[in-house]
Amino acid sequence: MPYITDRIAHDADAHVFEAPDWLDGFLTDNQRRDLAPYLQLNPHTMAEVESQRAGYRDDPYRARDEAEITLRKNFQALGAIDREERPAAIDFLGVASQLMFTTAGLRMLGAAEGQPDPAVVSTLNRAHNEAMVEFCSVDRRLLPALAVSLHDLDTAPGLATDAIDMGAAALMVPSACPLNHGPTHVRLDGVWAQAEAAGIPVVFHVGGGTAMNPTYKKNGLPPVKDFIGGDDNFTSVSYMAIPEAPMQTLATMIFDGVLDRFPDLKIGVIEMGASWVPGWMRSMDSSAHAFVKNEERLRSLSLLPSEYVRRQVRATPYPHEPVGWIIDQAGPEVCLFSTDYPHIEGGRQPVKRFDASLDNEGIGGAAREAFYRTNYEDLMGSALEVL
């Protein structure tokens, strides 16, 4: 029996879990040489892949695929690395679609944003996008989020065009500010305009933001391990830095009028939590009230900042967050269900945990359906026409 059987639910955050050679077929030898510093950022070796998948093909293991669909993680999960298996994983999860993201590529793409040669960044973006499209090609329920670097004002609109032509279901851009210009630079309007015209969202994803200053770790105490036993993923302190970039970038996009100029553009904030959203919305409204007399850009806005959020911004809470409270405070339009499959962070019982929080706040009816289904359908727009 599928994990979800009693409702229509879309998964706003799911992943490929890539082997170290995942981009080999999409790069020439010269390109692999040029991109070597970034390709080597994949934290997994082939030996690790093989070790984690020991016994994966054995009949007793495969007989439990459906029963253990939310229990197996990373390389041990069904369809994490093998695209031909992914349709069965979708069936067993019981979701209507999955918005698909890279895993190893998040680190590579983030590191390349500081590369002074835009051709290198563009090559990595395109190779990533081709790999994602190929993985997702096995099932129309797999909707690929394709990378568009905002690092170079000259190349960004062309990267958006290429991604849309490849079949992007969403344009994934960094939430961190580019090095040499703001994310609201008018020459980036070509990116937002193309997404709006195509009816697909622009999305931020964790890994494309601003990392915690590592000096915080220098506290004279023993190192703190992350939840998977190393020091490379999030701890309680580094977790707190996750919303920093989307809060600042989205506020700037709202204050500088991007969401006003492109009223049908939708923005997804994926795997960056949502507990911060209600207070951030109120802070923006307070800022607009405080500075409206001095700033023409604020007087030009047709809505309150929080109203742009409800109209155009959608975010995925983590399973441990109080989603019922977030919906109560931010409005029923904002939150999206996700599993983070096959990552550990998604937990083993996301529906149970989300439902408990919704129940605690008395969230039901249309607001509950919005969380699991209709907010996602509003976000994804024409990308869902393939279903």
pLDDT of 340 above 70: yes
Q: Please say if the pLDDT value at position 337 is more than 60.
A: yes
The pLDDT tens digits for 164-218 are 999 999 999 999 999 999 999 999 999 999 999 999 999 999 999 988 898 998 9
> What ranges in the chain are assigned the alpha helix state H?
29-34, 36-39, 46-52, 59-62, 86-93, 104-112, 118-136, 156-166, 189-198, 236-239, 244-255, 258-261, 277-291, 296-299, 305-312, 323-330, 350-360, 365-369, 375-380
Spatial separation of the C-alpha atoms in residues 22 and 43, rounded to whole Å: 13
Q: For position 231, what pLDDT does the model report? A: 55
Catalogue all structural domains in the chain, each as residue range(s) with its CATH number. 11-249+264-285+312-386 (3.20.20.140)
Residue-wise pLDDT for 69-82, tens only, equals 999 999 999 999 99
Mean pLDDT of 91-97: 98
Query: Could you please report the per-residue DSSP string of 151-194?
Result: S-TTTHHHHHHHHHHHT-SEEE--SSPPSSS-TT-GGGHHHHHH
Cα 53 to Cα 93: distance, rounded to the nearest angstrom? 21
In this prediction, residue 100 has a pLDDT band, given cuts at 50, 70 and 90, of very high
pLDDT score recorded for residue 225 = 81
Could you give the CA distance from residue 242 to residue 237 in angstroms, rounded to a whole number?
10
Mean local confidence (pLDDT), 20-45: 94
Mean pLDDT value across the chain? 95
Low-confidence winner among 2-6, 52-56, 255-259 (lowest mean pLDDT): 52-56
Nearest-5° Cα angle at 256, 250 to 261: 95
Mean of pLDDT values over 318-327: 98
Residues recorded for the chain: 387
Write out pLDDT tens, residues 132-158. 999 999 999 999 999 999 999 999 999
Q: Tell me the pLDDT tens digit for each residue of 289-302.
A: 999 999 999 999 99
Which pLDDT score, from 0 to 100, does residue 227 have? Answer: 62
- How does pLDDT run across 309-320, given as a tens digit for each residue? 999 999 999 999
What residue spans of 14-117 are helical by DSSP H? 29-34, 36-39, 46-52, 59-62, 86-93, 104-112
The answer, yes or no, to whether residue 229 has pLDDT greater than 80, is: no
Strand-pairing partners, residue 327, are: none
Q: How far apart are CA 308 and CA 163, in angstroms?
A: 26
Q: What is residue 241's predicted lDDT score, i.e. its pLDDT?
A: 93
Position 344 pLDDT exceeds 60: yes
What sign results for the dihedral spanned by CA atoms 328, 361, 270, 93?
negative
- Locus of tokens 């590529």: 105
Integer CA distances (angstroms), 196 to 160, 162, 193, 201, 374, in order: 11, 15, 5, 7, 19
